[in-house]
Every structure is written in structure tokens, then in C-alpha cells.
Amino acid sequence: MSLSWWNGRTVPAGEVHISPDDSGFLFGDGLFETLRVDDGRARDVEAHLDRLLAGLRRVEIELPEDRRALEAAVAEVAAAAPRPVARLRITVTRGARLVTTASYEPPEENLYRQGVFVRLLPAYRIDSGGPLAGLKSLCYQGNRLALRQAESRGDWEALLLNEHGRLVEGSRCNLAVVLADRVFTPPASDGCLPGTVRRRLLETGAIEERPLSPGDLAAAGEVLLMNSLIGVLPVSRIDGQEIPVGPTAERLRRAWAARLPPPA
Amino acid sequence: MSLSWWNGRTVPAGEVHISPDDSGFLFGDGLFETLRVDDGRARDVEAHLDRLLAGLRRVEIELPEDRRALEAAVAEVAAAAPRPVARLRITVTRGARLVTTASYEPPEENLYRQGVFVRLLPAYRIDSGGPLAGLKSLCYQGNRLALRQAESRGDWEALLLNEHGRLVEGSRCNLAVVLADRVFTPPASDGCLPGTVRRRLLETGAIEERPLSPGDLAAAGEVLLMNSLIGVLPVSRIDGQEIPVGPTAERLRRAWAARLPPPA
């Protein structure tokens, strides 16, 4: 039976109900994290809790539990998660704390060889100087609408720009671009979410921060998407234009796996 | 006993619980409306439903109920709302529909004579060309953070700019400025929420749309805030600078009251 952790207690998943007065439901006033769970063990809890706790300080949401208690909650909920792979979500609003899981079907292996289609949606501008920049805020409707629009045209992901017209990220992934044998990802100052796969690959030196423009996509040898659920996935088509799938995604996937802390 | 309307049924208010899988809670993927209820009768249901239904079409959320059913739900929930004044909220997510009420304490009458303090927060930029512009989205965390920041300094409201540096609105109010005996409010194309009080006053000709800059605040004879709960409230201080409270707020309050459709 799946378990959830809810305001300090572990309960059967079906018992969790959110109050209609919760600030997360009323105003999206909260933050979340999405972790991958393989066979009951959550990946890179350290990086996710680093980001969550830093974000909560920024928006001034106080957590009654300390980090160790959150780690224990994640481990307990992960251990009871659907197998073989699950998605674990930590949600903290100005009023409720929640750890839940759901079954997750990872991309098939051939997708890692074939790559996925993406579409640039210039109307969805990220405000790199705004109060929510870099936060995994519950205010995700713009991202969801961008993803719906991309999916309605047969694409797997939408690519988003910031207010200066620079490339920032996908609606649910970080972005990396291979230019002359180096791998670049937009800097945090351009407004991207500081993703956990991105973080680990920056730590190893496998990728580097550099501002990127839409023109860099056309010049790129390879284009890659990264997030905690998929790892690193190559792109094979941008706005209908083919782009080669090279060896970099697979190389980064291995570098990332080697860099991960032992599972919780 | 307070009632709520929940996915097509009227239930005791305490029975409503939101699923942790609801898209409104997960991603702020929904819209809401806030109406004032006086002695069990909701104000200007017509304008609120006009805006809600137009917004739902934009974000492609389909409602199983028709407009007449929503009107009936609002009327039934309003009739059971706390007296003398309540706040009624309609929330529609990609998955749930909800009408709830809570007791509301309106501003005291002397606040309408004295005015309130506001603070311009230039860091909170509204994206006038973005996918959520003009929508009363559940993604309201930026507005809430701005309001917290203003309140922490003793102000009643935060004033927000758009990406071009033009004045747009408050965190929970529309804005109007008296310049040479005319009353101007930022145009919808500058990214403001098309508020219901604003709409009714535009219909009467009592206010007009015109782009406004922060410099217009310094030149203004009077500055006013508008929303469905407060009506029209004068501003008496902007960023610590006094501004006179003139006769316009009271005049507009009366013009608005005269324009309201009969209560539902």
C-alpha cells in the first residue's frame, strides 16, 4: 500500500485531503519537488532538499520539521512507493507539508537513442528578475499551458525564453546545447530552475553555464533535455527541423549516474 | 450552516476536500473569482461569470455545468453565507469546481475617508504579453509575496509594473489615477486583471483606459484602488509620500453602486 507523509505523520495515501483554504490551493503559494524513486529508493534527496529549503527561505515559509525529519519522511514514503519506478513529490505550502508518490513510466530506452521533438514557444516568457525566478513554485500554469501546446502539435517538450529573448529551459526540463565539443546550459541568472541533474553535471564539469540564444539551437551539434525523472534525453527535432542525436546524452547520463549520492 | 458547491453538488462547507492530485493544487492550473456577498446576495455575478467563462475558454478548461447552473450554485451558496458580509470564491481547476464562502470584514467607513497606504514594488513585473496576462489564475504567489512585502512595511497594498515599466495594478486591486479631472486606469493590454468594478466604471464612462507610468502617480490629484470586495478606496500615501484624498473615490463608489445589476 502506498503511503504519504502529511504534516508530520505517515498515513495511507488515500487519506490525504487538502483543505480548500490551503494557501497552495488558493494562490499557488508554495513550492514543490519531484524526485524519481527506483525500487523504493529516492534519487538525490540531498540536491532536492537543498533546493527546497533554500526556496522556502526565499518565500519565507517556515517548516516545523528539520531536514533530518524530511529525509526520513522521503525515505519512508519512497520505500512504500509503486515499483519498479515511481515519482515522489514533496509539496510545501504556507500551511501544509506533503510527500506523495505515484507510479511513473520512464521513457523507453529507444527514446534515449532516437531523441524527442521539441518546440520553441516564444510567447511564454520567463521573468529572470522576478520574485519567482529559479523557484519551483506551485505557480506552474504557464509551464503546463506551454507543454499542452507543444504536445498538441506532437512535440514532447516546449522550450521557453526569458524577457531578454534568451533560451532558458523547457516547461519541465533543463536544457543543454553542444557547441564546438563543449556543453552549455543557460545560467541561473537567466531565470532557469536550478535542476538537480543540471547541478550534478555542473559539479562534474561535464556541462558549463553560458547564456544561449535561439540562434544557438540552429548552430548546435546536439541539444539535450535534463530532469530528475528522465536523466538526460537527446532532442532530434526542433520546430520540425531535424537535429542529429550524438553521443553526448549517453555520456552525460553516465556522468550523472556516477555523480549521484548513494540512494536514500 | 455554511454551504459549498462542489463538482455539481451542494454540501456542508466542512465536507469539501481537495485531492492532492488536483491540477489546481499540483500546478496552480485553474482560475478563480472572488465575489462579495451582502446579506446572502452575491454582487455582480454577471461580470464575474463573464470573466471566469472567458478565461476558462482561454486555458481550455471545460466545465460540465452551463452558466445557468453556476448562477444557481452561486445563489444557493451565497444565501447560506456568513452575515452581514462574506467573501464568495469560485475556483475551477482542470479537475474540480468549487464555490465556497468565508466571513469577510469590509474596510471600516473611516478608511474610505482617510485612505490607505501603498507601496510601489518594481521587482514584481507583470508580463503583459504572457499566457496568463489578464487571467485570474490560481498562480498568485507573486501577488501574495508582493502583498506580504507591502504589509510588512505598514502598507495596505503593493502597486505593480509590467515589463515595460508601466503601472498595471495592485496585488489584489485595480488602480485608477486622477489627472486633470479625468480618471484613468491602465488598459487591459498593459496586463492588468480586468476587474469587475473597473469594468462597470468603464461602462459608465466614469473612468477611461490610458497607459500610466510611475511618474503619473507623482502628478496625480488622487489615486484609487478598486476591487469587488472594497469597491473604490482612496490612497493617502505612496512610498511614504502623502497624496490628498479627494471626492473622486466616493463619487465612483456611488457610480459603481448605481451601475450594479440587481443582486443575485
What pLDDT does A1 receive?
80
What ipTM describes this predicted complex?
0.95
Q: Which of B86, B103, B120 is the last residue of a domain?
A: B103
Whether residue A121 sits in one domain with residue A15: no
A211: amino acid identity, one letter: P
Mutate to test the interface with A, among B17, B27, B103, B151 (most CBs of A within 10 A): B27
Ramachandran class of B202: left when φ > 0, alpha when ψ lies in -120 to 50, beta otherwise:
alpha
Q: Taking CB atoms and an 8 Å limit, are A18 and B18 in contact across chains?
A: yes
Query: Which residues of chain A does B27 touch, with a Cβ-Cβ cutoff of 8 Å?
Result: 138, 140-141, 143-144
Range of the domain at A212: 109-259
Whether residue A116 sits in one domain with residue A91: no
Q: Taking CB atoms and an 8 Å limit, are A20 and B100 in contact across chains?
A: yes
Q: Taking CB atoms and an 8 Å limit, are B140 and A30 in contact across chains?
A: no
Q: Taking CB atoms and an 8 Å limit, are A131 and B138 in contact across chains?
A: no
What is the Cα–Cα distance from A183 to A108, expressed in whole angstroms? 24
Domain membership of residue A264 (yes or no) is: no
What is the Cα–Cα distance from A247 to A206, expressed in whole angstroms? 13
B137 touching A (Cβ < 8 Å)? yes
Low-confidence stretches of chain A (pLDDT < 50) are none
Question: Following DSSP, what letter does each residue of chain B receive, concatenated?
Answer: --EEEETTEEEEGGG--B-TT-HHHHH--EEEEEEEEETTEES-HHHHHHHHHHHHHHHT---SS-HHHHHHHHHHHHHTS-SSEEEEEEEEESS-EEEEEEE--PPPHHHHHH-EEEEEEEEEEE-TTSTTTT--BS--HHHHHHHHHHHHTT-SEEEEEETTS-EEEESSSEEEEEETTEEEE--GGGT----HHHHHHHHHTSSEE--B-HHHHHH-SEEEEEETTTEEEEEEEETTEE----SHHHHHHHHHHHHSPPP-
Q: Taking CB atoms and an 8 Å limit, are B137 and A141 in contact across chains?
A: yes
What pLDDT does A264 receive?
60
Cβ atoms of B179 and B221 closer than 8 Å? yes
A7 touching B (Cβ < 8 Å)? no
Mutate to test the interface with B, among A31, A98, A138, A152 (most CBs of B within 10 A): A138
- A183-216 burial, b at 16+ Cβ within 10 Å, e below that, comes to bbbbbbebbbbbbbbbbbbbeeebbeeeebeeeb
Domain membership of residue B264 (yes or no) is: no
What is the Cα–Cα distance from A184 to A199, expressed in whole angstroms? 13
Domain membership of residue A183 (yes or no) is: yes
Whether residue B149 sits in one domain with residue B192: yes
Query: Which residues of chain B does A86 touch, with a Cβ-Cβ cutoff of 8 Å?
Result: none
CA A179 to chain centre: 23
Whether residue B82 sits in one domain with residue B38: yes
A60 touching B (Cβ < 8 Å)? yes
User: CATH number for the domain including B254?
Assistant: 3.20.10.10
Cβ atoms of B171 and B143 closer than 8 Å? yes
Percent with pLDDT over 90 in chain B: 98
Query: Which residues of chain B does A96 touch, with a Cβ-Cβ cutoff of 8 Å?
Result: none
Nearest to B28 among A100, A127, A139 (CB): A139
Cα–Cα separations (whole angstroms), residue B243 to A78, B6, B32, B225: 57, 45, 33, 14
**Is the four-CA dihedral B205, B197, B195, B50 of positive or negative sign?**
negative
B124 touching A (Cβ < 8 Å)? yes
What is the Cα–Cα distance from B77 to B100, expressed in whole angstroms? 7
Nearest to A145 among B123, B127, B131 (CB): B131
Cβ atoms of A43 and A49 closer than 8 Å? no
Q: How big is the A-B interface in CB pairs under 8 Å?
A: 135
- Which residues are CB-neighbours of A12 under 8 A, at least 6 positions away? A1, A2, A3, A4
Whether residue B137 sits in one domain with residue B116: yes
Query: Which residues of chain A does B143 touch, with a Cβ-Cβ cutoff of 8 Å?
Result: 27
Nearest to A142 among B22, B130, B140 (CB): B130
Nearest-Cα distance to chain B for A105, in Å, is 17
Crossing angle (nearest 10°) for helices B45-59 and B67-79 = 130
Cα–Cα separations (whole angstroms), residue B197 to A63, A171, B45, B46: 38, 35, 12, 12
Whether residue A202 sits in one domain with residue A76: no
Query: Which residues of chain A does B131 touch, with a Cβ-Cβ cutoff of 8 Å?
Result: 123-124, 142, 145-146
Whether residue B250 sits in one domain with residue B164: yes
What is the Cα–Cα distance from B259 to A115, expressed in whole angstroms? 58
Domain membership of residue A193 (yes or no) is: yes
Whether residue B98 sits in one domain with residue B117: no
Whether residue B161 sits in one domain with residue B76: no
Whether residue A225 sits in one domain with residue A177: yes
What pLDDT does B1 receive?
80
Domain membership of residue B97 (yes or no) is: yes
Query: Which residues of chain A does B92 touch, with a Cβ-Cβ cutoff of 8 Å?
Result: none
What is the Cα–Cα distance from B228 to B195, expressed in whole angstroms? 8
Quick one: which of B124, B107, B120, B153 has its CA closest to B243? B120
How many domains does the structure of chain B reveal? 2
A19 touching B (Cβ < 8 Å)? yes
Low-confidence stretches of chain B (pLDDT < 50) are none
What pLDDT does B262 receive?
82
Residue in the structure block whose three cell numbers are 508582493? B146
